[in-house]
Amino acid sequence: MRTIETIKSGRNYKAISVGAIDQIIEHELPMGPNVIQGKVFAGQAVGATGSELSFQTLVPGQDSGFLHTHKTHEELYIILRGQGTYQVDGEQFPVAEGTIVRVSPDGRRALKNTGTENLTMLCIQYKANNFTEADSPMTDGNILPDPLNW
């Protein structure tokens, strides 16, 4: 079983590693009486305060195991490798490397690997309807005059 490794941390940051994309399958997530092979939550491990994120690898033919919704969280599913079928509210469509799917809290969702290789995805979960115009990267970011010292 693979575990999350802390690389470095400081007052304003924490860096971790979940391993290479091909190693995600080595993680195990205890979930009640079951263990989900190939899934790891990383948001809490990195100290995220506004979102959660997880990586998951599904082997060929495997699905996410259940339909689910959320009370308040919207999710972004980013397919990093492989191909599959995504289902939301009974509708199905193909997904592959580079596909991004946003699902609102009420969306009844599931993912299945329909390919011949492992499907690995990143899921970012955050509170829905929380971003405003003031949160735009163009207005929230501050470019500093300090030189970059590598």
Q: What is the mean pLDDT of the segment spanning 46-56?
A: 96
Model confidence pLDDT, tens digit, residues 109-120: 999 999 999 999
25 contacts 47 by C-beta, under 8 angstroms: no
Tokens of 26: 């080595």
Gyration radius from the chain CA atoms: 17
Q: How confident is the model at residue 138 (pLDDT cuts 50, 70, 90)?
A: confident
- Distance between CA 24 and CA 42 in Å, rounded? 12
Rounded mean pLDDT of 122-139?
A: 88
Mean pLDDT of 94-102: 98
pLDDT band at 122 (very low <50, low <70, confident <90, very high): very high
What per-residue confidence (pLDDT) applies to 132? 82
Q: Which domains does the chain show, CATH number per domain?
A: 5-129 (2.60.120.10)
Phi, psi of 129 (to 5 degrees): 55, 35
Quickly state the pLDDT bin for 136 (edges 50, 70, 90). confident
Instruction: State the burial class of residue 141 (Cβ atoms within 10 Å of its Cβ: 0-12, 13-18, 19+).
Output: exposed
Positive or negative, the CA dihedral 54, 84, 118, 65 is positive
